[in-house]
Amino acid sequence: MAYGKYPGPGMVQEQEFREVLASTDLQAKLPGGILLEKGQGILVKGTIIGKKTTSGKCVAYDSSASDGSQTALCILDNDADTTDTDIPASAWIAGIFDSTKLTGLDDVAKASLKLCYFV
């Protein structure tokens, strides 16, 4: 028996472990976390996040946008399902990251994430 979209007792659900930190040194999370805007589907751990200026809600970073999300703010630290509702989440603002495991990382995002190091 399932409970909505979540597995019930005794059910098995596969989950991929994805470590984006290259080191546990020098990491810091955004105090108070972020609010992810609904309708983005599942955002995976390591997604670069931007913040819309009008709503103050966070979305996946998009360097071609003009709504505020073109500036990288932080890096999502867990998978988040935003399909149906806005969802609170935690995110890193500092750390040493494996750039090959981050989603949406480009040179512009690297320049915005001043407290992050990428290897």
Q: Binning pLDDT at 50, 70 and 90, where does residue 14 land? A: low
pLDDT in tens, 54-110: 999 999 999 999 999 999 999 999 999 999 999 999 999 999 999 999 999 999 999
Q: Scan for tokens 């040179």, then name that residue.
A: 107
Statement: residue 118 has pLDDT above 90? yes
- Could you tell me the CA-to-CA distances from 110 to 46, 50, 51, 63, 82 in Å, in that order? 13, 12, 16, 11, 25
Statement: residue 1 has pLDDT above 70? no
For the chain, give every domain's residue range.
29-118
Fold category of 29-118 in CATH: Virus Head Decoration Protein; Chain: A, (2.40.300)
Q: What pLDDT was estimated at residue 92?
A: 97
Q: What pLDDT was estimated at residue 93?
A: 97
Q: Record the pTM.
A: 0.85
68/53 Cα distance (integer angstroms): 5
To the nearest whole percent, how much of the chain has pLDDT over 90? Answer: 76
DSSP symbols for the chain: --BTTB--TT----------EEEEEEEEE-TT-EEEPSSS-EEPTTBEEEE-TTT--EEE--TT-SSSTTSEEEEE-S-EE-SSS-EEE-EEEEEEE-GGG-BS--HHHHHH-TTEEE-
